[in-house]
A and B are shown apart, each in its own frame.
Chain A
Amino acid sequence: MLLSAFCCLAAMSAQAPAASASQIDQARIDAGKRLFADTCQNDHCHGGSAMNMEDHAGFTAEYLRHVIIEGVPDTGMQAFKGVYTPEQVEQLVAYIVSVSADPGARPARTAPPLAPAHAATTHGELSGDATAGWALFFATTQARNCLDCHIFQGKGGTVGPDLTNEGSIPARELFRRIVMREQHPNARMPTDEYASKYSLRQLLDLVAFLKSTDPASAAGVTLQDLF
């Protein structure tokens, strides 16, 4: 149970000097638990109208950190940059990961593992940012987003195919399907053929996101993979 929703955070400094690494981890998890109960759990957010805790299962620390700091565009999840201290972000991440570690009776839900954000690879190529692609996929600011027509992890429209597990499709093929009208002669897919909606970098991010659902594609997607 979440035993506490007190207006409090565990002070790390009290335990830190003589504590072992595992004690620090546990103190961080405990502090994150209290912080989560205090600031994240209410009728409008987690445990209320937004995701339940189990939705976090399988999310990586990197992904959670990104979502907490940057938020999720056009959802109730604001960017908490400047609201939480970096240590508080780490406390929240430690707690949520600790809850996610044991998926319990149901299988863990997958989440986009992160490729380095727009980082150059060792070969100097631009690589896709799966998190940025995830945000584009779900973006509700735009007149249309992918979710309007495609299901991802049980949510979304039924116009197009379910894209939850399409990560094994080669990056080049995914890219062609997004941008080329000839791939969908009779479908309603609004392709990006005339390059009006997405920048090349955004397309790379979208492909990286779709590929991230496939464990075998952990190496990420580079610009070269698209052509």
Chain B
Amino acid sequence: MKYEVVMGLEIHIELATNTKIFCTCTTAFGGEVNTHCCPICTGMPGTLPVMNRKVVDFAIKAGLATNCTIANFSKMDRKNYFYPDLPKAYQVSQFDLPICEKGYIDIEVNGQTKRIGITRIHMEEDAGKLIHDEGGTGSLIDYNRCGVPLIEIVSEPDLRSAEEAKIYVEKIRSIMQYIGISDCKMQEGSLRADVNLSVRPMGQVAFGTRTEMKNLNSFKSILRAALHEEKRQIKEIENGNIIVQETRRWDDDLGKSFSMRSKEEAHDYRYFPAPDLVPIKVSDEEIISFKNSLPELPQARINRYINDYKLPEYDAKILTNSKDIADFFEEAIKYDVPPKKVSNYIMGNVRKLMNINNDEVPPFTGEQLAMVIKLVSKGTISSNMASKVIGFMYEDPKNPLLIVKEKNLGAMNDEGALIKIIDEVISQNQQSVDDYQQGKKKAIGFLVGQVMKQTKGKANPQTVNKMLVEKINNLK
């Protein structure tokens, strides 16, 4: 039987406010343990939360950027459960009156546009972090992250494959980066996703029983976890078993998921309105002014790249996928280099290095990349050498000209030396010379390659080509 997978995602995004949601502690990542906290975020008796209005502003922006309706009246609620990383033993979140509801975003799947519904976006506080003692003598708690503001974006069950889920998360991430409310650094945990997944026989209307996988914090793990869960559920069904509604934990190292708790064991969070916080009121005027102040979103940038920079749609989409990369691109083209050249380098060398190093941005600036491109166009280095320079620059982001000098990567412009090498290549490759002379013009390519090899790529291939042709023609 053919099955269809149905997925909905809950994406938690740490907001890039300077201070926490209910106190003035910094939200900076890292820091010595328990130094970014105070009596309020550690839940000391008698302390009270006071809403950081910036958090509300950011949540409204997120809602507007995902076509949500913004609530004129919303409130905070307490979600009660015991865990050592939660010092008040409740998380302040939003239950029945979230700040944003009923939105959508459009994603591109196999060249088709697909609309994914956003059920709601709500605001809440993050918890601390348990550090399990290596010696096994106990657990320690770091409260630095306690009270860092989060929004949770809940999608409709509109996703139909792991790949779609990945594309959806990428798009959400890109939008949030564009509107500047989060850095969405997955390796720092500032974007985490819970995947709700069920399968059903193709054509069936009713949903199957779903499971939830918590806290997936990389695109790779979202993709892998979803694929694994899809297969697991289909296998269970085919073996005649039923799917148990439960929460599962994905172990990325083992590539497996494990049952955490069943529906029966699920927490009763005993939500009730947070009595220490006043309801959040947003006027229509405020909503309109936020709408007007939203920065350019990815789709607008794609159009601009195509129209203004004459980039192919493919390039435009890839460059704008991450705001950091799009910003990097725009910085580079400020230095009077052809946009398509910059795009080629980013999509080629730079992206490859970023993937290897698992980086979200290159360590050097757009200006530095522009300098490399200029060195090539001026003939200072060959295009082959350019990728080497970028490689060195990635390891140590120095001025590219300095790298060229230090590593002696400059183009071979000494004609005397070059003539010597060309003579040698011609004498060692008589067959190719003959082929060329007999009209097989392609043979020149092989000879150019040989010269480039001898010069360790430093010669300018065009110059070599020209000199070789002249030389062989003179041989006749």
A-B interaction: no
